């Protein structure tokens, strides 16, 4: 017997204790604490829970004007179902949600763990019209047991030459615990950089404090003549380093502080933290190819309830979008090299 329940808060994730097990929280973006930060940032949450005996599966969603989407924002690298991988529980949620919304849009879904495939199959079997499209790219570096020196020897010659010529012009410090002065430097550099205005600075500050207390923070600051001129916000857990944010002052672009700071952080996470993977988040910026060695697709799973007239209108929009962006690849099974 499967029971499906709805909650208007993510607090239930803490109560279920799903996030205490690393198998259920493979990344920072799967923890109850992360969804709590999203909710506190102003997102409307709806948590769906399916339970059977000792197994539980949950979807952390957001609701707006009867349309449902996954509970995430631009800071989230990924989103996926939480808890048990029992597909009957996921299917029960998909069936029950048909009475809740004409459309459910789930984006930034990975498929190296079959999350996108499981969602597409579950909603399709429940009678939804499911449209899957590739929505983003995730650049990664599998370290494959290499030291930093071995990894660096394989980087493009131009990048290695830049570091050799510029490294002595800046000093770097990596903070593994939250430091208010260092974070203030990060915020000041980011605000003065070419980056767009920070969307939810209070949320990011709270996340950095949280990660610092847990020992997962890796905040790098580069200095020239004692002045902070570049900053990068990373975290490390379960053998994976996540690159969340980076920025530098254009006024000091000539000293390539960003390159020097990146190299220092890569060296730290590879040689000291001994990570097996570095995750550069979403986005297909060309410079990432200099540092990363593989890419993974991210998918948008659109589920349409064709009993609703609104769903037919949305289907037309999706079809138009497909015409403008043809040749969408099928769901991935393994990361492709790049």
Residue 328 pLDDT level (bands cut at 50, 70, 90): very low
Task: For residues 61-79, give the mean pLDDT.
Answer: 92
Domain total of the chain: 2
The verdict on 41 and 168 lying in the same domain is: no
Q: What is the CATH number of the domain that holds 153?
A: 3.40.630.30
In a domain, 288, yes or no: no
Indicate whether 240 belongs to any domain: yes
Instruction: Give me the pLDDT at residue 199, please.
Output: 87
Give a yes or no: residue 286 inside a domain.
no
pLDDT reading at 332 higher than 80: no
Residue 64 banded pLDDT, cuts 50, 70, 90: confident
Q: Is there a single domain that holds both residue 267 and residue 148?
A: yes
200 and 217 fall within a common domain: yes
List of residues 6+ apart from 127 with CB closer than 8 A: 95, 98, 305
**Segments forming the whole domain that contains residue 181:** 144-275
- The predicted pLDDT at position 31 comes to 92
Residue 278, strand partner residues:
141, 241
Across 98-132, b (16+ Cβ under 10 Å) vs e yields beebbbbbbbbbbbeebbbbbbbbbbbebebbbbb
Contacts of 121 (CB under 8 A, 6+ apart): 87
Regarding whether 91 and 33 lie in a shared domain, the answer is yes
Beta bridge partners of 130: 303
* Strand partners for 45: 62
Cβ proximity of 142 and 277 under 8 Å = yes
Q: How far is CA 94 from CA 69, 125, 129, 156, 314, in A?
A: 13, 9, 12, 47, 19
Q: Confirm whether 284 is domain-assigned.
A: no
pLDDT digits (tens, 9 = 90+) for 239-273: 999 999 999 999 999 999 999 999 999 999 999 99
Q: How confident is the prediction for the chain on average, in pLDDT?
A: 90
Residue whose tokens read 């799973």: 301
Q: How far apart, in whole angstroms, are the C-alpha atoms of residue 48 and residue 69?
A: 12
Evaluate the CA torsion angle 193, 249, 277, 212 in order and state its sign: negative
CB 95 within 8 A of CB 126: yes
The pTM is what? 0.90
Residue with tokens 């499209």: 133
Q: What is the pLDDT of residue 65?
A: 73
Residue 88 scores a pLDDT above 60: yes
Question: What tokens were used for 249?
Answer: 């002052």
Q: Are residues 155 and 200 in the same domain?
A: yes
Residues 252 and 307 in one domain: no
Give the per-residue pLDDT at 280. 98
Q: How far apart are CA 323 and CA 215, in angstroms?
A: 47
Ranking 174-183, 194-203, 305-314 by mean pLDDT, the lowest is 305-314
Has residue 190 been placed in a domain?
Answer: yes
Question: Does a structural domain hold residue 205?
Answer: yes
Q: Tell me the pLDDT band of 196, cut-offs 50, 70 and 90.
A: confident
Residue 18 has pLDDT above 60, yes or no: no
């Amino acid at each position: 017997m499967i029971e499906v329940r709805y909650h208007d808060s993510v607090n239930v994730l803490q109560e279920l204790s799903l996030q205490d097990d690393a198998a259920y929280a493979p990344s920072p973006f799967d923890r109850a604490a992360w969804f709590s930060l999203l909710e506190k940032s102003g997102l409307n949450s709806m948590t769906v829970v399916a339970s059977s005996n000792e197994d539980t599966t949950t979807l952390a969603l957001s609701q707006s004007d009867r349309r449902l989407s996954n509970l995430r924002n631009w800071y989230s690298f990924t989103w996926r179902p939480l808890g048990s991988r029992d597909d009957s529980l996921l299917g029960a949620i998909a069936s029950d949600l048909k009475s809740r919304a004409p459309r459910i849009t789930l984006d930034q879904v990975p498929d190296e763990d079959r999350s996108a495939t499981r969602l597409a199959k579950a909603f399709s079997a429940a009678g939804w019209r499911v449209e899957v499209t590739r929505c983003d790219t995730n650049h990664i570096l599998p370290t494959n047991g290499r030291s930093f020196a071995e990894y660096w020897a394989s980087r493009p010659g131009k990048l290695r030459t830049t570091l050799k010529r510029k490294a002595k012009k800046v000093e770097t410090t990596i903070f593994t615990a939250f430091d208010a002065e260092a974070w203030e430097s990060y915020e000041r550099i980011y605000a003065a950089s070419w980056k767009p205005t920070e969307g939810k600075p209070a949320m990011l500050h709270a996340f950095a404090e949280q990660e610092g207390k847990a020992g997962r923070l890796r905040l790098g600051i580069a200095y020239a003549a004692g002045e902070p001129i570049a900053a990068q916000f990373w975290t490390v857990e379960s053998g994976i380093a996540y690159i969340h944010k980076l920025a530098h002052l254009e006024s000091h672009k000539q000293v390539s502080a960003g390159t020097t700071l990146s190299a220092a952080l890569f060296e730290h996470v590879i040689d000291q933290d001994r990570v097996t993977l570095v995750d550069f988040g979403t986005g297909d910026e060309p410079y990432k190819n200099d540092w990363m060695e593989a890419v993974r697709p991210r998918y948008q799973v659109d589920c349409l309830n064709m009993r609703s007239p609104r769903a037919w209108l949305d289907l037309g929009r999706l079809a138009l979008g497909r015409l403008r962006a043809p040749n969408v690849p099928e769901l991935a099974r393994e990361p492709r090299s790049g």
